[in-house]
Every structure is written in structure tokens, then in C-alpha cells.
Structure 1
Amino acid sequence: MPRLAVPSLRTLRSAPPTPGREIARIAVPVSMEFVLMLVLNFVNQIVVGGLGATAIAAVGFSNSLTFILAVTLGCLGTSVSILVARAHGAGRRGDLDHTVTAAVLTALVLGVVVSFVPWFFADRVMGLVGASDAVAAAGTDYFRLTVLATLPVMLSAIMSGVLRSVGQPARPMVATMITVVANSILALSLVTGLGPFPALGVAGAGWATLITAVAKTLILLWMAYGRKVIGWSLPDSLRQWHAVVVPLFVLALPLGVTELFWTVGTFLYNVVFQQLGDEALAAAQIVTTLEGIFIVGSIGLMAATTTLVGRSVGSGDVDAAMAWVRRVTRAGVGTAAVFGVLFATSVLFLDTLFAEAGRDVRVMAGVGILINAAFQVIKVRNMIIGAGVLPSGNDVRGVILGDAVGAFLVGLPLAIVLGLHTPLGYAGIFIARIVDEAAKLAIFTWRARRIRWHALVDSTAPLPA
């Protein structure tokens, strides 16, 4: 009888991964990284929550302002990750290095401007944009410190995107793990005056954020450049500069516009909550922070989309690109269902985690959690299609259209009507945000079906020398 051939362990390890494993290899570390980042914010909120509802509202309101800067400028990292994935898939190392170098130089210039200009006017900004006197007084120092973290956050976004696109998604997760632990210790120490540290109150959380943002950037720069994953290489000619910078900004500028629409829309929802009082604003911040922890359990699928689709486009494989879109979109339904249920169960822990915030705040937060958890699938699909599929297909106009229509033509007007002019109050604002997301999903899905993948592959092919 002939002997059966049994594959060795080495053969099994060297076998090409299944599509599911390939998605998980990218998505799981990225999701874990973002979960850790939001756990960091959540720990800070719990620490600050010991100071009362006004402190929670102040930190949340400040974060919604700095979030506009960080996410809008973070579009540079998304643009780089897509272009690096294409260059990596095509084996063009020179283009890869030139793209990253140009992006880092751009981030340095933009980061200095957007970090220091708001710093000088921090005492006026919060009051001008709708914060109550108590919230503005409590949050100004925190805002001043966290806005300085914009530059290192931009550089971290670029380096993280690069490492994921070249097949090393676990390294950004390691950097995040280190800095999350450091931030939690620093925040607790500086807010409460633990040990030899002074009790700085809300500002202590700002110092912890700034210090660890710089530390994370230094770690990622070492992982990318110190470990020779990429090289510092300036383009040699005007033609090379043009070939690198134009695609970088063709993607980054529209992505920046759509991120600006999205973050400004998020901020304006907070302004509407503020009209109902500091307690309503505090409840909204609790919901946002908790939801973030669970929704980013699926955010790795967005990174998997830009990476896997980008590599397929770079290698000229249209069928593979379209297949990755289908696989990742299906995976998002499953992860959204699981994390939506977990998010809903978080209402059971509000009394323990936010005892000092007050019963009214906890009740409002509980209602917001249940409303948002019921529609988690819509938000995850928007994240995958709007931030993964459409940018990978060079349809950033579709992203802008969805974000602008969903927030400014549908969601915010409805929030004002339901929240301020009906008995629904705060619950009406949460409902309006769900309607906003449903409008976005309809637009994103329509635009995704219009992507011409064959034309995209032809347009990204390198020109003959």
C-alpha cells in the first residue's frame, strides 16, 4: 500500500494563507491597536470623571475640536497607505520611499502650523464655538496641550499606514500597547497627584496625551527607518517630484475635505447636545467613547481593504481587487453584530464606571448606547465602504458626497428639530445621527457600484522610462 503524503509543519507554514487568514493578519492587529487607543481615552475619561460631569464634558468638547485637526490631517496617512500598498504590490521600492519621504516633509510643515496657531488662541476658541463658561474654563488647558499633539499624531498615522501596507501590521500595535500603558499611568498620576506628581486636574490628562504621542511617534520612526523597512529618499528630478506629489495630494486633499466634513459634523452634534446642558453633553461623550472602543473592533477591516485592494491594483489584478472588496464587506457584517451586542451590554457598567457623573447623565448615556448599538452594522459598513473601498477605487468624491449629505442635509437639521423642538430631547439627537448614517450608507453603496476597477488599474500602471 502506498504511503500517504503528510505535509510537514514547514510546508504548512509556507503554504499561502487563505483569504480569511490574510484579512485577519492585517485586520486583527489594526483593530487591537485602535481598541487600545480608545481604551486609553476611556481610561482618561474615567480618571477625569472623578472630577464630575463638567470635567467629562470639558475633555469631550476639547477632544471633538482636536479630533477635527487630527482626523482631517490624518488623511495624509490614508493616502500614503494606499499609494505604498500599490507600490509594494508592483515591487517599486523607489516609488515607495519617495512617497513616504514626501509625506513626512508635508506632515512636518502642516503639523507645525496647525499645532501652534490654535495654541495661542485656546482660551477663546472653546467659548467661541459653543462651550459653556464652565466647560470652557475647565477644558482650555487640556485643549492647549492636546492640540500640540497634532504633529506627532500625523507622523504616527503615516508610519502606521506604511508599516501595514508593506506587510507589518503588528508593529504599530506594539507601539500603541507601550504608549497606552504609559498614558494610563501618567494620566492617573498627573490628574490626581499620585505619588510625587502634582495634581493638575483636567490638564494632567492633556500632558499625558502629549508626552505619549511624542513617544509613539519616535517608536514608529525607529520601526520604519531604524529597521530599514523604508528608506529616506528624496526624488532626484522635478519629474519624479511630480510623479510622487500629485498622486499623494490627489488622494489626500479630497480625503481631507471629507474628514473635515465628518469631524465638523461630529463637533456640531456636540454643540446641539450642549444646548441641552452640560449633563447632556457629558452623556454624549460617554456614549462616543464607549462606542469607539467597540466599533474599532471592526476598523481593521478598513485597513485590510486599503492594503489588499491596493496591492491587487498595483499588481494589475482587477479580479483580486474586486474579490477582496466582497470578502471584507461580508466580514464587516459579522464583526459589527458581535461588537454591537458587546456595546449594548456596556450599559450594565455605567453605574460603576461613572458614579460621580450623576444619575441623569448615566440614564441619558444608557439610552444613547442602546440606540447606537442597534445600528452598529450600518456604521461598520460605512467605515469599510466610505473609508476603504471608495478611496481605494479613487472615488473620494463619493466619500465627500456621502459625508456632506448625511451630516449637513439630513442628520444635523433633524437633530436640531428632534433634539431642541420635540419631547424626544437628547434621544432625538441620537436618532438623528442614525438617520445620518443610513443616508451615508445609501450614497456610499451607490458610488461603490460605479467604480471602474479596470480603468483604475490602467491609470496606476507606471509610465515607461
Structure 2
Amino acid sequence: MPRLAMPTSRDRRPAPPTPAREIARIAVPVSMEFVLMLVLNFVNQIVVGSLGATAIAAVGFSNSLTFILAVTLGCLGTSVSILVARAHGAGRRDDLDHTVTAALLVALGLGAVVSVVPWFFADHLMSLVGASPSVAAAGTDYFRLTVLATLPVMLSAILSGVLRSAGRPTSPMIATMVTVVANSAIAYSLVVGLGPLPSLGVAGAGWATLVTAVAKALILLWMTYGRRGVVGWSLPDSVRQWRAVIVPLFVLALPLGVTELFWTVGTFLYNVVFQKLGDEALAAAQIVTTLEGVFIVGSIGLMSATTTLVGRSVGRGDVDDAMAWVRRLTRAGIGTAAAFGVLFAGSVLLLDALFGEAGRDVRMMAGVGILINAAFQVVKVRNMIVGAGVLPSADDVRGVIMGDVVGAFAIGLPLAVVLGLHTPLGYVGIFVARILEELTKLAIFTWRARRVRWDVLVAKAAGSRAPSTPSAPTASEMPTQPVTTSS
């Protein structure tokens, strides 16, 4: 009887990853990094909370202003990451170097303008946009310092996107871990005046933010351009090369920036309405927002997984696979949102220990806000996956803008003014208005997602490819873990 040959290790092939493992491979690193950043904000809020409710309100109001700049301009990092992924996958090293160099120079110019101009008018800007005299007085120095941090934050967003798309997804997380620890230590030391250091109060947290933002940008620059870096410094050689780099950069960035601008401005205007009810209501809203952020970013990696996995299927021309990934990721979002929503609701039990100096009324208002928002965590996560993942993957940026504009400016904010300022509901009415905004966005995003013609999208993607040029792989097709969002 002939002897059967046994398979050798060379003949064995690793089994393809399961869909769940494929999702986790992309989503977990992104979520971990964002959790670290939100924990940093939470620790800073606890440190500042020892100074009282007005200090919490001042920091929160200032952050909501700088948040508009940071998130809107951060879309440049997302744009760069897409272009770098294409150039890296196609082996076009010159294009990669030109894209990153040009993007950093553009960011330096934009960052200088958006940092320095608000710095000069900080004394009047906070009062002009709705801060009470006490909040403006406490938060002006902090705002000056954090708005200067916008420039290094922009650079970090770009460099993080470059490293992820070039196959180094853990590098930004390492830089974030280092600066989170440093920020917390510096903030505590300067706020309370530890040892020989001066007690700077709220401004101490601002100095910590600025110092660690610069440090993170420098670390990422070394990771990107150092001896083991992934790109080289190379300027485009001609006007034609500059145009070939700059035009795609802004074509991708502008629609993303518009959607982020609407969202962040809407968030800021809610803070203005809370401020109308007083410093304590604003402080409570900031506690709710910060705590919710810590838990909701546990699902944010699914947004990156959506754009990556659905985009890969579209690029392969597999309609059924694209639709299957949408269903899988939506189910995963419901599961993670339910789990983190329960944890978020349980954080009510920690308010007395964490914010004892804020006052009983602030803690009570924050507790009510936490319970209302935790009950609808699933809705918010679904909006994040569909609105920031599925619709952009389907080239439906118009649907994203429609949901953000109608939800916030036609439903949420008008109801916040009516319910919060002109009914006995007060602060509860504002929290309810924000939930109604999310439900409106859910209806619009779901409607737009059902109208997506995946077959048409796949045919369009296939038709746009040059016959002699293979399609460039997305970030998800890199040999290492892909991450498509920027920090």
C-alpha cells in the first residue's frame, strides 16, 4: 500500500481570519488610542474640578471652542492618510514623500493662522460667543494656551495618519500613551502647585496641554522621518507636481471638514444654551460630555473598520461582501454600545467621589444627563457607524451633511432653546433636545443608507480605474494592521 505523504509546515496555510477577528484587528487599536485621549481629558477635568464648578465650566467652554478648530482641521490628517495609503500600496515613494511634505507645510500655514489670530482676541472672544463674565475670566488664559496647541495637534493628526497608512499603526498609540501620562502629571503639578512649582489654577491645565501637544508632535515627527522612519522630506519639484499633490488633498479634505464643522459648531452652541442657565448647568454638561466620551469611543474603532472593510469590498467589486460587512458592523455597534452604555450609566455612582468640590446641584444635574444619554448610547453609536462610516464609503457625503444640519440646526438646537429656556424642564430639556437630534439623524442616515446602490458604486469604481494600472489597495489591504482615522 503506498505511503501517504504527510503535510509539512510549508504546506500549511494559515486559516483566513473570521469576520469578527478582522473587525477587531482594525477597530481595537483605534478605540484604544481614543480611549487614552478621552481618559486624559477626564483626568484633567477631575484635576480642574478641585477648583469648583466655575473652573469646570471655563475649561469645558474653552475646549468646545478649540474643539471646532482641532476637529475641522483634523480632516486634513484623514485626507493625507488616504493619499498615503494609495501611494504606499502602489510603491510610489516619490508621491508619498511629496504628499506628506506638502501636507505638513499646508498645516503649518493654516495652523499658524488659526492659532495666533484667536490668541490675540482671547480677552473678548469668550464673552462674545456667550461665556458668562466669571467663566470668561477663569478661562481666558487657558483658552490662549490651548488655542496655541492647535498647530501641533494638526501636525500630530497628519503624522498619525501617515504612520497608520504606511503600516505602522501602533506608533501613534505609543506616542499618545507617553503624552497622556505626562499631561496628567504636569496638569496636576501646575494646577495645585506641587512642590516648588507655582499654583497656576486653570491656566496650569492649559500649559500641560500645550507642552504635551508639542511633545507628541515631535515624537511623531521622529517616528515618521527618523532613521527608521517611513517617509523622506521631499518638496515637489514643479508647479505641476504641487498641483498634483494639493488638489487631491483638498478635494478629499473639504467635504470631511464641512461635516466636522457643522457637528462641532452644533456641540458648541449647546454649551451656549447651557451657559444661559448658569455656570453650574454648563459645568454639569461638561462632566456628562467628558464621561460619555470615555465610553462612546470604545465603539469608535468600528467607524474605521467600516470605511476600511466596506471600501475594500467595493474596490474588489464584491457587492454582496460590502453589504455583509455593513450588517456585521452594525450588529457589532449595537453590542458594544449596549455594553458601554451600561458602564456609562454606572458612572453616576462615581460622581460624588470624583467631583465632590463641584457642588451637589452640579452632580445631580450631571447624573440626570448621564442616565438620559446612556439610555440612547446605541442610537449614537449607530449614527457614528452609518453616518461616518457607511455613507462616506458609499460616496454619500451629502447624506452626512443633511443629517448633521437637519438634526442639530433644525431640530436639536431650536428645541434646546425652547425646552431649556422657556419651559420648567430647564437643563433636562436641553439633554432631551440632544437625544431628539440623534433620533432625527438616525432616521436620515438610515434612509440614505437604504438608498445606496452598491452595484452602481462598484461599477463606478471599476470604471474609474485605468486598464493598465491596478487599483491601489486601501489601508486595510496593507500587510499590517490598518487604521484610517487620525488622532
TM bin, normalised by shorter chain, reads over 0.9
**Please, which moves more after superposition, 253-262 or 449-458?**
449-458
Residue 398 of structure 2 corresponds to which residue in structure 1? Answer: 397
Aligned to 2:198: 198
Q: Give TM-score, length-normalised by structure 2.
A: 0.89
SS at match of 2:298: coil
Aligned to 2:155: 155
Pair 1:142-2:157 in alignment: no
After the TM superposition, which of the residue ranges 50-59 and 385-394 deviates more from structure 2? 385-394
2:437 corresponds to? 436
Question: In structure 1, what is the Cα distance between the partners aligned to 2:444 and 2:159?
Answer: 31
**How far apart, CA to CA, are the structure 2 residues paired with 1:314 and 1:91?**
18
Contact 1:88–1:311 (8 Å) recurs in 2: no
Matches within 5 A, 1:200-219: 200-219=200-219
The residue aligned with 1:182 is: 182
RMSD value, Cα: 2.5
Q: Per-residue deviation at 1:311?
A: 4.6
Question: For the structure 1 residues 447 and 68, does the alpha-carbon distance in structure 2 shift closer, same or farther, using more than 3 Å as the test?
Answer: same
Once the two structures are TM-superposed, the CA of residue 113 in structure 1 deviates from its matched residue by 0.5
The 2-side partners of 1:295 and 1:459 are apart by: 38
**CA, structure 1 residues 6+418, in 2 after alignment: closer, same or farther (shift >3 Å)?**
farther
Contact persistence 1:88–1:314 (CA under 8 A): no
Q: Mark the CA change 1:255 to 1:129 in structure 2 (over 3 Å): closer, same or farther.
A: same
Paired letter, 2:342: V
Is 1:173 aligned to residue 164 of structure 2? no
SS of residue paired to 1:296? helix
Residue 420 to residue 281, structure 1, CA distance change in 2 (3 Å): same
Question: Does the Cα contact within 8 Å between 2:191 and 2:203 map onto a contact in 1?
Answer: yes
Alpha-carbon shift at residue 442 of structure 1 (Å)? 1.9
Q: Name the counterpart of 1:120.
A: 120
Report the secondary structure of 1:51's partner residue: coil
Residues 1:71 and 2:75 aligned together: no
Deviations 1:301-344 (A, max 9, x none): 12223334445555666555444433322221111111111100
Offset at residue 462 of structure 1 (A): 5.2
Q: How far 1:161 sits from its partner (Å)?
A: 2.1
> How far is 1:245 from its partner?
2.6
Aligned in 2, Cα 1:236/1:269: closer, same or farther, shift over 3 Å? same
Q: Is the 8 A contact 1:86 1:314 kept in 2?
A: no
Deviation at 1:402, TM superposition (A): 1.2
Q: How do 1:244-323 and structure 2 match up within 5 A?
A: 244-312=245-313, 320-323=321-324
Q: Which residue of 2 aligns with 1:229?
A: 230
Report the Cα offset of residue 64 of structure 1: 0.4
- The structural deviation recorded for 1:240 is 4.1
Contact persistence 1:98–1:244 (CA under 8 A): yes
> Any idea what the Cα deviations from partners look like across 1:120-143, whole Å, max 9, x if unmatched?
011110000110100000000000
| Segment drifting more, 249-258 vs 451-460 | 451-460
Measured after TM superposition, the shift of residue 93 of structure 1 is: 4.6
- Identity value in percent: 81
Partner of 1:347: 348
Q: Which residue of 1 aligns with 2:462?
A: 458
Return closer, same or farther for 1:229/1:128 CA change in 2, 3 Å cut-off.
Answer: same
In the alignment, structure 2 segments of 5+ residues that lack a partner are 470-487
- Partners of 1:189 and 1:65 lie apart in 2 by 25
Structure 1 unaligned blocks of 5 or more: none
Could you say if the C-alpha distance between residues 120 and 411 of structure 1 is closer, same or farther in structure 2, counting changes exceeding 3 Å? same
Q: Which moved more, 1:215-224 or 1:49-58?
A: 215-224
Q: Tell me the distance in 1 between the aligned counterparts of 2:25 and 2:11.
A: 19
> Structure 1-normalised TM-score?
0.93
Supply the distance in 2 between the matched residues of 1:160 and 1:176 (Cα, whole angstroms): 10
* 1:38 equivalent in structure 2: 38
Match in the other structure for 2:101: 101
Query: Which residue number in structure 2 is paired with residue 365 of structure 1?
Result: 366
What per-residue deviation string (whole Å, max 9, x for no partner) do you get for residues 46-66 of structure 1? 000000000000000000000
Say whether the 8 Å CA contact 1:165–1:307 is kept in structure 2: no
Distance 2:434 2:343 in 1: 20
Looking at structure 2, the residues matched to 3 and 46 of structure 1 have their Cα atoms a distance apart, in angstroms, of 68
